[in-house]
Amino acid sequence: MNEPISIRLTGHAAAFPATREARDALRQYLDDARRALRIDPDADEIVRDLESAIGDRLSTRTGSVDDSVTGAQMAAILSELGPVSPARPAPPSAERRSRGRFWCRIKEGSWFGGICLGVAAYGEFRVDWVRTVVLLLTLVSGGLLGVVYLVLLLVLPVVPTVTDYERQRDAPRYP
């Protein structure tokens, strides 16, 4: 049996009796509106205005006050309002991607130029392990890795701290 449910809408003191189908249709419409407006800074205000407009239409409908709003009546009211879409396109900031990881030297806490700290930040490794591996590979390669290390000192950009590296890595990339 369809027991009436009370629906309270913004801007209206009285509750409107409605069926479950009407309530579900209203809830779906408002959820879709919130999703469509998720990047709009005025989304909450727009949804409140929608609720108020729906309440205005419900209060002017003919019939007894005790008549519950049916699913068909609610669907007709919602179709009058139409689908909700953002008033303006999404700002570029909502669609920007982060810069991502990049190779660099990190000055803070560096022993010799910050290459190992930069590699550790890039790969999210512990810096003491990176230093150990670089030292061992330098010994095994007969010093060849040492030459590569010196070239990297000249080529890689310098970042002051690991925190600055993370900030730059996560910062939006502009096209």
pTM of the model: 0.49
Say if residue 69 is in the same domain as residue 128. no
Tell me, letter by letter, the H, E, C secondary structure of the chain: CCCCEEECCCCCCCCEEECHHHHHHHHHHHHHHHHHCCCCCCHHHHHHHHHHHHHHHHHHCCCCCCCCECHHHHHHHHHHHCCCCCCCCCCHHHHCEECCCCCCEECCCCCCCCHHHHHHHHHCCCHHHHHHHHHHHHHHCCCHHHHHHHHHHHHCCEECCHHHHHHHHHCEECC
Out of 90, 120, 151, a domain closes at 90
CA distance 163 to 121: 10
Q: Is the domain of 69 the same as that of 106?
A: no
Q: At what angle do helices 43-60 and 71-81 cross, to 10 degrees?
A: 130
Same domain assignment for residues 9 and 86: yes
Q: Are residues 46 and 75 in the same domain?
A: yes
Per residue in 116-168, pLDDT (tens digit) is 999 999 998 999 999 999 999 999 999 899 899 999 999 999 999 988 888 88
Same domain, 67 and 144: no
- Say if residue 33 is in the same domain as residue 57: yes
**Shared-domain flag, residues 71 and 137:** no
Answer yes or no: do 106 and 85 share one domain.
Answer: no
Phi, psi dihedrals of residue 169, rounded to the nearest 5°: -65, -40
Tell me: do 86 and 103 sit in the same domain. Answer: no
Amino acid at 38: R
pLDDT at 42: 79
**48, 65, 90: which is the final residue of a domain?**
90
Comparing CA positions, the residue from 6, 22, 28 lying closest to residue 71 is 22
Query: Is there a single domain that holds both residue 45 and residue 69?
Result: yes
> Comparing 96 with 170, which gets the higher pLDDT?
170
Domain span at residue 164 reads 98-173
Q: How many domains does the chain divide into? A: 2
Question: Residues 54, 26: contact at Cβ < 8 Å?
Answer: yes
Picking from 64, 90, 116, the residue at the C-terminal end of a domain is 90
Question: What pLDDT sits at residue 88?
Answer: 62
**What are 34-45's pLDDT values in tens digits?**
888 877 777 888
